[in-house]
Amino acid sequence: MERVKFSVFMLSLISTSSFANGFIDDSKIKLTTRNYYLDRSFTEHNDVIPGTKDWAQGFIFNFNSGYTPGIIGFGLDVQTLTSVKLQGDAKYLPSGLLPTDPQSREREKTASEIGATAKVKYKQTELKAGTLQPWTPVIFSSPSRLLPQTFLGGMIQSKDIKDLELIGGYISQVNHRDSTNYEDLSNIGFNQRFKVAQTDQFSFAGAKYNFSENTQFGLYYAMADDIYNQAALTLKNNHQLNKDLNLISDIRIWNSQENGAAKAGKIDNTLATANFGLDYNNHRLTFSTMQNYGDTAHPYLSGGEVLIFIDGWSTDFLNAKEQVYGMRYDYDFKDYVPGLKFMTRYTKGREIKLAYSNDKHKEDSLDFDLGYTIQSGHLKGLGLRARYAIYDNDFGAKASFKPADETRINVDYTWTFK
């Protein structure tokens, strides 16, 4: 309620004619509709629960104002999110698409929420307060379901120094992808890796520097109070080998330790990822590895993912001691069917240490992704995407991730009104 009152105050302040020029003239208004079907069918340990299955329609409306005139500009962003259940049965686990009663597993038929963000700009420095969607290696607003995950707090970004981008923020609460309520943040506890602990204090800072047009370096740090500290380093580079062949390198390293009262228990993990891709005309072949060092798994906030290239749909490949290797192939049909793209990848994890087992375990996933965006006509921009994954592991019935065949289908379209 306090956020709504503040938003009304900001609108009344900025709507006067003296402020209208930049605020209204530079504003952007968009509505994205997203139709999402997710079916994860367990192939083992499915005698009680067969998997997860939901079909839903989502609406994402964004009003992003410009800034009022003057040395210091003021603005306001408003986002409304709505989900509509098309199919959802309580015999299945929640998929993350729809708000669900935790006891009965009944999905809500419709749900809506509104978020507001006040913003201030001086030169190339922006300060935002309210609803946030940060996109960094240490805190990441997940877009992988029907509606995006959002956070409540404050964030500052600056691009005043050439080739350098600075970011910092303080987060107190999270609104998950399948929820309309803000709550304290918590860490993930998949496969009994950690105790699930809560905090209302998460701070982060980072810098991203472009050494050249083709080389970028990033350094970030975050602290989830009384749960964990985390540092992250990123290095990206594109190297043109010849006129037809391009080498893409992407290296990311995280180091995580328990913090303060250590409510989640011991945390000791260094996660190193390396991805090397070769671009040749419409083809891209990528080789990847991800190594988990230390005594525990990699910690991250619940309700989302980690910003890594190896992105398993039915798992996260972030268990203690896990060694991951993957190969991915992408093809762009732009010369034949513009807008059509295909991806397939195989990822294998081994040497996994689980909290409830003394054995070493393994997992693997074979994924397919086919997407098409209409390029012209009345439906220009309409996106169709189908994904299929075959996931397997030997974790046993206690595992959070179970062997499964998974299908995802999306239909997205965005109307731009201004």
Q: What is the reported pLDDT for 312?
A: 84
Confidence of residue 19 (pLDDT cuts 50, 70, 90): low
Q: Name all domains of the chain by residue range, CATH numbers in brackets.
A: 2-416 (2.40.160.10)
pLDDT of 13 higher than 60: no
With bands split at pLDDT 50, 70 and 90, how would you rate the model's confidence at 14? Answer: very low
What is the average per-residue pLDDT within 130-149? 95
Query: What average pLDDT does the segment 64-88 reach?
Result: 96
Assess whether pLDDT exceeds 50 at residue 6. Answer: no
| Token pair for 4 | 């709504």
pLDDT of residue 20: 65
Range in 11-25, 95-109, 187-201 the model is least confident about? 11-25
> How far is 307 from 312, CA to CA, in rounded Å?
12
Q: What is the mean pLDDT of residues 222-248?
A: 95
Q: Which long-range contacts (CB under 8 A, 24 or more apart) does 120-126 make?
A: 120/72, 120/73, 120/74, 120/75, 121/67, 121/72, 121/73, 121/74, 121/75, 122/71, 122/72, 122/73, 123/160, 124/158, 124/159, 124/160, 125/156, 125/157, 125/158, 125/159, 125/160, 126/156, 126/157, 126/158
Mean pLDDT of 171-189: 95
What pLDDT digit, counting tens, does each position of 112-126 carry?
999 999 999 999 999
Residue range 131-144: mean pLDDT, rounded: 94
Q: Tell me the mean pLDDT in the region 48-69.
A: 95
Tens-place pLDDT, residues 219-234? 999 999 999 999 999 9
Task: Indicate the helix (H) or strand (E) that contains 4.
Answer: helix 2-14
Position of tokens 């006891």? 103
Q: Report the 10 Å Cβ neighbour count for 274.
A: 16
Q: What is the pLDDT of residue 310?
A: 85
Q: How far apart are CA 351 and CA 325, in angstroms?
A: 12
Give buried/exposed letters for 325-352 (b at 16+ CB in 10 A, else e). bbebebebeeeeeebbbebebebbbeeb
| pLDDT for residue 273 | 97
Task: Give the H or E element holding residue 74.
Answer: strand 72-88
Mean pLDDT of the chain: 93
The pLDDT value given to residue 302: 94
Check pLDDT > 90 for residue 387.
yes
348-363: per-residue pLDDT in tens? 999 999 999 999 999 9
